[in-house]
Amino acid sequence: MPDIRESPVRPADVFVAGSLAVDLSCDYIAVEGSSTSISPLSYTSNPARISQGLGGVGRNIATALHHVGARVQLCSATGDDGAGKAARDMLITQGLSLSKVIKKPSARTAQYVAVNDAQKDLVLAMADMTVMEECHYEVDTIWKASLEESRPKWLVIDANWDSYTLQKWIRHGKAVNTWIAFEPVSVVKSRRLFAIDPTAHFNLGVLPDHAVSLATPNKLELASMYAAARDVGLFDRDDWWQIVDAMGLSSSGSRDKLVSMVGADLVNEGVPQQSIQLLPFIPTILTKLGEKGVLMTQMLKPGDDRLTAPRHSKHILSRADVNHQTLGGVYMRLLPSAEKIPTADIVSVNGAGDTFLGIIVAGMAKAEPKPLVDLIKTAQQGSWMTLRSNEAVSPEISTLKDRL
């Protein structure tokens, strides 16, 4: 039986199910006067500045939620080792509860090593998340019971769990009628949402019986998610086709309209098209595009004000039949980055996306959430703060809480 360290149980509006890890960041130092590129060389040693801190996608998201005032509970696991003790102690220092962070005696605490180039952009990362793949028992006992007792408004799940555990988390979250957000983590792990595991007794339903309400991939993860869904035949299902058909998308001229809305480059890469095809399973997809901003693709319910408001007309991709009971239309909007951060000001890119999702969910968990577009703009600002911070999530984002 895993050990759970005694810690005060706090009421939570958001549960975060994801990794808690010790992070190592290796920033390449280009040799002055050398003709070498800004990237480290393969098959040899490179000069670097190496720093260690507390991270993990789940922990970062929970920290962002905590900084902006949300009541959050992290559900994760560590090993009974030195790294695990350090991680747990740091978590307490930062004000997060350990009540649902289990300690597995035979496991290694998760660790993540990022190798960045001289401009702090990720070149390669290695992640040992084995402990997250050894929690089949806990998800059906400890954490399931916690969900049933707390019934949080939102459950955020990262893809560091194996597909079985990930899908169990989603099934248990749906059973208590919580909204579910999915953070894909990486190109490889993003596919886990769509893996077919009969033992998990999980079916990825379509609107209005969808399980996942929100996903925040980057464009590479989006492409991987799309390919995974296609490979297991999800786009061949009748229920998927019925929703796509109801969207009211024109078979002629749709490319021109997409280009006018988001630009030719994204259309040529297939980004908006992939988002649209995944919408029946995930009705809100926020695709992170780095300096280009965020592509928001969202199913609108019948009666949504944006369907008739003139200021939103240029963002309405299509409208469903007025008699459709669950679908009003499709909203697509490119929200460009309002700020370009000089390379010299970027300290680390590792936690920016986690900060973004944490702020979004904190805003959506409010009793009266602000419009999603406004939350995205605030979350973008929070991401910029993290890019400039030595921390995986910048404590400075606490200044944004009044904007949520």
Burial class (CB in 10 A: 0-12, 13-18, 19+), 106: exposed
Quick one: pLDDT at residue 184? 97
Quick one: pLDDT at residue 251? 63
Q: Lay out the sheet containing 316-319: strands in order across.
A: 3-4, 101-104, 72-79, 14-17, 154-158, 179-183, 214-215, 284-288, 294-300, 329-335, 316-319
Those residues whose C-beta lies under 8 Å from the C-beta of residue 78, and which sit 6 or more positions away, are 20, 84, 87, 88, 101, 102, 103, 104, 107, 109, 110, 131
Residue pLDDT, tens place only, 208-247: 999 999 999 999 999 999 999 999 999 999 999 999 999 9
Number of neighbours of residue 112 by Cβ within 10 angstroms:
21
Those residues whose C-beta lies under 8 Å from the C-beta of residue 370, and which sit 6 or more positions away, are 363, 404
Length of the chain: 404
Contact between 332 and 272 under an 8 Å Cβ cutoff? The reply is yes
What is the value of pTM for the model shown? Answer: 0.92
- Torsion sign over Cα 2, 8, 9, 11: negative
Alpha carbon distance 28, 82 (integer Å): 27
Taking the CA atoms of the chain, what radius of gyration do you get in angstroms? 21
Reading the block at residue 52, the tokens are: 């260690």
Question: pLDDT below 70 — which residues of the chain?
Answer: 1-10, 33-36, 197-202, 251-253
Quick one: pLDDT at residue 181? 98
Residue pLDDT, tens place only, 120-169: 888 999 989 999 989 999 999 999 999 999 999 999 999 999 999 999 99
Element (H, E) at 374: helix 372-387
